[in-house]
Amino acid sequence: MDAVVVLLLAAVLGALAVPVTAGARRRADARGAARLLATRMRLARVQAVARGVNVALQIGAGPSGPLVRVFADGNGNGVRQADIASGVDPPIEPDIPLGELFPWVGLGAADGAIPDGAEPVPVDLYSFSPVGTASSGTVYLQAGPSAQFAVRVLGATARVRVLQRQALTGAWEERP
């Protein structure tokens, strides 16, 4: 009889732990994706300065989730979507499939809403110049309501920050 009670108690505690573990996994995935993206943006800035040409990250939806592609300016007019499509601005490294590396993570929105999968996800281009500046912008990543992160680039300094949205207050706070 004691063994049955112990097994029942273990089963109940195990069932309670599953949602906590899943939430922690989602938060870890979202945090990891945000840090990887921030690091990749910092590297793009270094590549732009070292190469002496604009280098840009293209961020959009891939077949398995968010996809990051890196391009260099091929004709001296900056990295542009039309030049990427025509092959004038070539990719300089393999694609980074955030959706495969972090399966819980998707592109989000500033208000914390998850975009409807039926609508096309916009493709954003974040450009870094040879003088160390960048185009300003924010990429929102999320893996559920309690795992929302933003990677923000400030134009004049090309500083990259990772922010986390607090579920209770909705405020964005910087994360190291």
User: pLDDT-based confidence at 169, cuts 50/70/90?
Assistant: confident
| Contact of 138 with 132, CB cutoff 8 Å | no
Q: CA 132, CA 134: separation in Å to the nearest integer?
A: 7
**Model pTM greater than 0.95?**
no
Mean pLDDT of 117-130: 71
56 pLDDT above the threshold of 90: yes
User: Which amino acid does the sequence have at 42?
Assistant: R
**Percent of the residues in the chain that have a pLDDT greater than 70, as a whole number:** 78
Give the residue-averaged pLDDT of 34-44.
95
Instruction: For the chain, list the domains and their CATH numbers.
Output: 29-175 (3.55.40.10)
Closest CA to 64 of 36, 105, 30: 105
CA distance linking residue 55 with residue 89, whole number of Å: 9
